[in-house]
Structure 1
Amino acid sequence: MTSPAHPNTDKHQRGGPRGIQSIEVGGALLTALVHHGRPLALKDLAREAAMAPAKAHPYLVSFIKLGLVEQEAVSGRYGLGPLALQLGLISLQQYDPVRLATPRIEELAMQLGHTVAIAVWGNRGPTIVRVAEAPSPVHISMRHGTVMGLRGTASGRLFAAHLPTDLVLSALAAEAPQQAAAAPKIDAQFAALLALARKDGLASAHDGIVLGVSALAAPVFDDQGRIALSLTAIGPSGNFDLNLHGPIALALKSASTDLSRQLGWREPAQS
């Protein structure tokens, strides 16, 4: 005779740990406020959370009592409250971008079968600080501390596309000290590459510094919209997909967007 199953066993097996549905429903209102980044009228907020205004209102009353939401006295619109802002600031203080991104590059390397690295802006330019080797790594200098050139590498082009011009010019001058007599400049061809990197959300390099090696790099932004680091995948040109809609590009963009959001970045509204 079999013993009766625990009453919650099937539920846990089917859908994982059981939560509190009312909290999850109400959370849609907070998610809508975060997504829009500005106070909303009740009808607009309810619509964004896919619920009727009459259903949304009691949740908002409770959130106001907790300090998660506040209501503007004149317009009556609802926005994030002081507790929500404090939680956001504490969350940002706990996140170190490199520490946050390190486990992601390990996952990406296994998923893509290519080496994936984290680069940050150092005093000599884009500098590799973490490397996750692929199962069959490319034999190329991707050690910690490697400085990537601005013109010929995906990481370099990515930082050049998102950093102030004076920093880029200074780094270009440091790369070619023998040409220091002539002021460095961003020529038309290089400017076009940087504009493309900003437009596509990715920078690429095909047979750049090393013949037979290609790379794609995606930016991770902080809460001020500044580039914090790059996620760079690198592999043999023969089997490295540079297609902007290919699996490598999509995986890098998805990971970089997710990390940026965790750091407090908000995607600009589409015009």
Structure 2
Amino acid sequence: MTRAAPRAVAPEAPTPATGSQSLERGLTVLELLDTSEAPLGVRELARRLELGPTIVQRLLNTLAARGYVEQVAETRRYRIGPRALGLGAALLRTDALMAGAREALERLAHEHGLNGFLGAVRGGRLTYLLAVQSPGPIAIRNAPGSEARFHSTAMGKALLAALPPGEADALLGAAPLPRLTPRTITDRAALRADLAAAAARGWAFVDGENLVGVISAGAVIRDAGGAVAAAISVAAPGGGAEAVAAITAPLLPEARRLAARLGCPATLLPPEVP
């Protein structure tokens, strides 16, 4: 068998990287390790980063010295280190939204068997801020910092429905909406009608639109000024109106409690259980 020639790596520029370039590269290393299901070697990281192995090794050495990555002795590959795990701890303790949402999602998981999520618009994208796994059969694949679709998730639809149409269209972008399942709404006129219905009732839902056989319901959380701060959602296996109603019943009280914790005006709280 003929072996493929090794991939050529472009030579590094003769001038040293600036501080911001080094920081960006180091953060990218952390992101790659955080999203990988297995430890990664220097050459694999170098290939993904399109950098020379020597540069990547220096980045890893710096991160390992501070405890943000660690090397697996048996394979000499790298994984996220223990210090990285604590980076968000202070935010969870001190931020009212994050702390309150964590409590709400844990109740939804442990008392109702629902996977729970908190998400917000960051940089024009729908970003997961929290995800709590329930004891149920659906495994959460969305870690904090990962992104979700606006048009196919209850969290995304709840956020779009709370925005003026022009702002919602801007978040959706001009590209065709991807069809993730046979039930995904990709026609923009149909999606606008669905969002109008969600705005009227005060919460959004999807029935097999993001994942086959999975339902989800979501509601926006507003702050003391009435601005949309985030959206909270739950997901479970099932389908049909009765299943959606069953997961919405525990979600809405938690959404109201969380919004009230932020000082949301009473007239803008999520609705009572339908």
TM-score higher than 0.5 = yes
In structure 1, the residue matched to 2:26 is none
Give 1:268 shift.
Answer: 2.0
1:167-182 to 2 correspondence within 5 Å? 167-173=167-173, 176=176
Q: Name the CA distance, whole Å, in 2 between partners of 1:112 and 1:231.
A: 15
1:115 maps to which residue?
115
Change in 2 beyond 3 A, CA 1:177/1:192: closer
2:205–2:244: 8 Å Cα contact kept in structure 1? no
Distance, in Å, in 1 between the alignment partners of 2:117 and 2:242 is 17
Deviation at 1:109, TM superposition (A): 0.8
Letter in 1 for 2:199: R
CA contact 2:198–2:204 (8 Å) conserved in 1:
yes
SS in 1 for 2:148: coil
Partner of 1:268: 267
CA distance in 1, matches of 2:148, 2:242: 21
1:1-271 equivalences under 5 Å are 96-173=96-173, 176=176, 187-237=188-238, 242-244=243-245, 246=246, 248-268=247-267
- Whether contact under 8 Å (1:95, 1:263) holds in the other structure is no
Identity fraction in percent: 23
Post-superposition CA distance 1:58-114 (Å, at most 9, x none): xxxxxxxxxxxxxxxxxxxxxxxxxxxxxxxxxxxx753122211110111111112
CA contact (8 A) 1:124 1:174 kept: no
- Structure 2 gap ranges (5+): 1-93, 179-185, 269-274
Q: What is the Cα deviation at residue 135 of structure 1?
A: 0.7
Cα deviation per residue 1:139-179 (whole Å; 9 max; x = unaligned)? 3532222322121111111110012334322221176599x
| Alpha-carbon distance in 2 for matches of 1:120, 1:231 | 9
Amino acid aligned to 1:196: A
CA contact (8 A) 1:124 1:147 kept: no
Code of the aligned partner of 2:155: S
| 1:253 Cα offset (Å) | 0.8
| TM-fit CA distance, 1:226 | 1.8
SS in 2 for 1:268: helix
Structure 1 vs Structure 2 CA RMSD? 2.8
CA distance, structure 2, for counterparts of residue 253 and residue 177 of structure 1? 28
Question: What do the CA deviations read for 1:191-228 (whole angstroms, capped 9, x no partner)?
Answer: 22111111222110011122122111122111122221
SS state at 1:152 partner: coil
Confirm or deny: 8 A CA contact 1:214 1:240 kept in the other structure. Answer: no
Deviation at 1:242, TM superposition (A): 3.8
Distance change (3 Å), C-alpha of 1:97 and 1:237? same
Aligned to 1:7: none
How far, CA to CA, are the matches of 1:187 and 1:174 in structure 2?
10
Asked if 1 retains the 8 angstrom alpha-carbon contact of 2:217 and 2:244, the reply is: no
Larger Rg: 1
Distance 1:200 1:233, change over 3 A: same
- Structure 1 segments (4+ residues) deviating >6 Å: none
Q: Is the contact between residue 133 and residue 140 of structure 2 (CA under 8 Å) also seen in structure 1?
A: no
User: Does the 8 Å contact 1:169/1:186 carry over to 2?
Assistant: no
Distance 1:125 1:164, change over 3 A: farther
- Matched length: 168
Q: TM-score, normalised by structure 2?
A: 0.55
On the 8 A contact 1:127/1:145 being kept in 2, the answer is yes
User: 2:211 aligns to what SS in structure 1?
Assistant: coil
**Once the 2 structures are TM-superposed, how far is the Cα of residue 250 of structure 1 from its aligned partner?**
2.0
Who is 2:6 aligned against? none
Question: 8 Å contact 2:218–2:232 — kept in the other structure?
Answer: yes
Write the distance in 2 (CA, Å) between the matches of 1:242 and 1:130.
24
Q: Is the contact made by 1:215 and 1:242 (CA closer than 8 Å) also made in structure 2?
A: no
